[in-house]
Chain A
Amino acid sequence: MSVQLSANNYRTPLLNVENLSVDFEQNGRNNSAAESVYLNVHAGETVAIVGESGSGKSATSLAIMGLIRKPGVLRSGKVKLNGVDLLALSSRQRRRYLGKDISMIFQEPTVSLNPSFTIAQQISEALKCHGKMTRAQRYSRALELIREVGITDPEKCLQSWPHQLSGGMNQRVMIAMAISCNPSLLIADEPTTALDVTVQAQILNLLHRLQQKNNMGMIFVTHDLSVVSSIAHNVVVMYAGQVVERCSVDDLFQCPRHPYTEALLKSLPAYHSNTNKRLSSIKGSPPGTVESMSGCRFYSRCNYAKNDCRQSTPDLLGEPDSNSRAVRCFRPLKALSTSNDRPV
């Protein structure tokens, strides 16, 4: 995998996100939900975005789709999919890409499907929107998709309404709908969080299999580090709207650089099974608003914080246009090579 990764670094990425910032306007104030996010995804690669709830993962994902709506505001950013900046397009032009080249699935599958339409209608609609198929062709394609996502009685499923299916089934339907036009990029925003554990594993396997088979790029959003190792190649760690660390999945588990990443790992049961230490949750909670914060946003919860951490804000240091390591900390846990340090 690491061979493939280093090769990836020299290819132009499928998705290139630059300087993406999203604010939420509340009571006349701007609350930053995502600030200057950079990330790349290559074909066939899965990038995980991890972070506690509220760290801006969904805001980032929705902004990539151009789906930020009031009270959210897109402040800045470029989202280049195969070189086309989606955010520079009018919403009418962008619609041609949504659901076709770039698709998204969501955290709550059952409420993400329209209760007033059958599964067949909802899948068929996605096909109708982006292609010229007859009704019969759409139906057989829908059947094929439903089979593809591992639903045993496809005909029955197509005739069902969302409320008749389980959460896991609905998430499979969402996946079928998302891949219906063979997208090159799939964004999965916590797709298994609302499901029970056995179903979680099945959905992860399904996503992994589809991603490999279709050589899709995937952004996998989760707050649960334990699922990251099985699915992701690269990881972006977010904290309070900022990317604080970016690395390969192996590096994440073997040598986290940011104190926040380390703290996340320490709260994982599996991480401790071999080290025999006590499980620790991260003390405190993320800052509610970051509008008037100076210094490092993790300062108050950091075990290694020094005075200067509060005074000036650390930059994300690393290679800007690749998925190589980068960390936003004055004292990374293990020194980065300084040869190509520059702010991102």
Chain B
Amino acid sequence: MPQLLLRRILLVIPTFIGIVALTFFLIRLAPGDPILLIAGEHGVSAERYAELQKQFGFDQPLFIQFADYLSQVLNGDLGLSVVTQTPVLDEFGKLFPATLELALIAMIVAIAIAIPAGVLAAVKRNTLIDHSITAISLVGYSMPIFWWALLLILLFSVNLGILPVAGRLSFIYDIESVTGFMLIDTLLANDKEAFIDALHHLTLPAIVLATIPLAVIMRMTRSSMLEVLKQDYIRTARAKGLSEFSVIFKHALRNALIPVITVIGLQTSILMTGAILTETIFSWPGIGKWLLEAVYRRDYPVVQGGVLLIASLVILVNMVVDLLYVLINPALRQK
């Protein structure tokens, strides 16, 4: 087990360097020049251009630039944003709680609905309930996020007018940022109305972001439960005289969750992609929107640093999932 952990940690190093290289070269492959983009319509004189190039280090050969960047990253420095001249890490730190809050709520919603629904579908196999759950899951999975978000906005914001379309909090509230999580900060400020308002703002983006993981986790739970319910030990549990609840939620679900946890880990990584789209649609002030804008402006340090940080997060999540997988799987725990 410690060996397993060590191997996983050692594997992170080449992955990490690979990601640095990939983002570094990919963003430079894209057409567009950050200096010209900052200058905008007014343009920039040749001398000033050369000067700025030198300042950002763009005058060096690409390979040298990469080596410099890599050593800088390994020293824990992600550089300054070309546009705002603030450290990338600071910007990330300021915006990340918004994304994390959205992602966490979305994932909690997805898991809280998907697992019971998946269990129900498996237990009521081939009934109307099962077919409806399966159909909903299929629709959810194949729905384009953008279109789904617009549909929800149209219904809840435009027609019914009960949910806001953009941002994290209405302007009338002024909440001091302590944790960066709006739900917690509003509670800390003891402002119930602001809390409700924050919850309202969170609802639509969270639903949109939760949809795909919900569908995927539900399907996995269903098929995994169906597999487990066929096993001999389920018959043994029934022969012991256990209640049906105990048979399903203790004996079956415990085993059925093993593959589901892997899927949850994968979906958490994929959630990051979804977050970028969702944040853009709902003007959610998180790292998704920040990254997208950085790409438009060819803000190399932000794109590189942002992607690297997200990738590290994904790696971390996957490691936690692997660990969890081993922990709930006694056959693996011994090894």
Contacts and interface: CB of A to CB of B under 8 A. Distances in A.
B240 A177 contact: yes
Contacts of B238: 67, 98
Interface stretch (B52-60, B188-196, B326-334): B326-334
B331 A65 contact: no
Contacts of B251: 114, 117
B221 to A, nearest CB: 16
Contacts of A209: none
B239 interface: yes
Interface in A85-103: 91-92, 95-100, 103
Contacts of B243: 92, 95
Contacts of B331: 115, 161, 163
Given A163-B330, A164-B334, A116 B255 contact: yes
Nearest to B244: A91
Contact of A113 (B233, B242, B244, B334): B233
A96 B328 contact: no
B241 A112 contact: no
Given A115-B330, A116-B330, A67 B235 contact: yes
Interface size class of A (residues with CB under 8 A): 20 to 34
Interface in A111-160: 111-118, 125-126, 129-130
B255 A129 contact: no
Contacts of A65: 239
B239 A104 contact: yes
Contacts of B240: 98-99, 125-126, 129, 177
A113 B236 contact: yes
Interface string B243-277: 11000000100110000000000000000000000
A96 B236 contact: no
B233 A115 contact: yes
Contacts of A315: none
B237 interface: yes
A118 B238 CA distance: 18
B232 A106 contact: yes
A57 to B, nearest CB: 15
B241 A99 contact: yes
A130 B235 contact: no
Given A95-B242, A125-B240, A125-B242, A112 B232 contact: yes
B239 A99 contact: yes
Nearest to A113: B233
Nearest to B126: A70
Interface string B270-297: 0000000000000000000000000000
Interface in A149-186: 161, 163-164, 174, 177
A60 to B, nearest CB: 15
Interface in B313-334: 328-331, 334
B231 interface: yes
A96 B241 contact: yes
Contacts of A250: none
Given A125-B240, A126-B240, A129-B241, A112 B330 contact: no
A92 B243 CA distance: 7
A144 to B, nearest CB: 18
Given A116-B255, A116-B330, A95 B236 contact: no
Nearest to B236: A112
Contacts of A97: 241
A112 B328 CA distance: 19
Contacts of A163: 330-331
B241 A98 contact: yes
A100 B239 CA distance: 10
A326 B269 CA distance: 68
Contacts of B244: 91
A20 to B, nearest CB: 17
A164 B231 CA distance: 19
A98 B236 CA distance: 10
A99 B237 CA distance: 9
A107 B47 CA distance: 86
B242 A106 contact: no
Contacts of B328: 116
16 contacts: A62-B235, A65-B239, A67-B239, A91-B244, A98-B240, A99-B240, A103-B239, A114-B233, A115-B255, A116-B330, A117-B251, A125-B242, A129-B240, A130-B241, A161-B330, A164-B334
Q: Which 6 A-B pairs have the closest CB atoms?
A: A98-B241, A99-B241, A99-B240, A114-B233, A161-B330, A95-B241
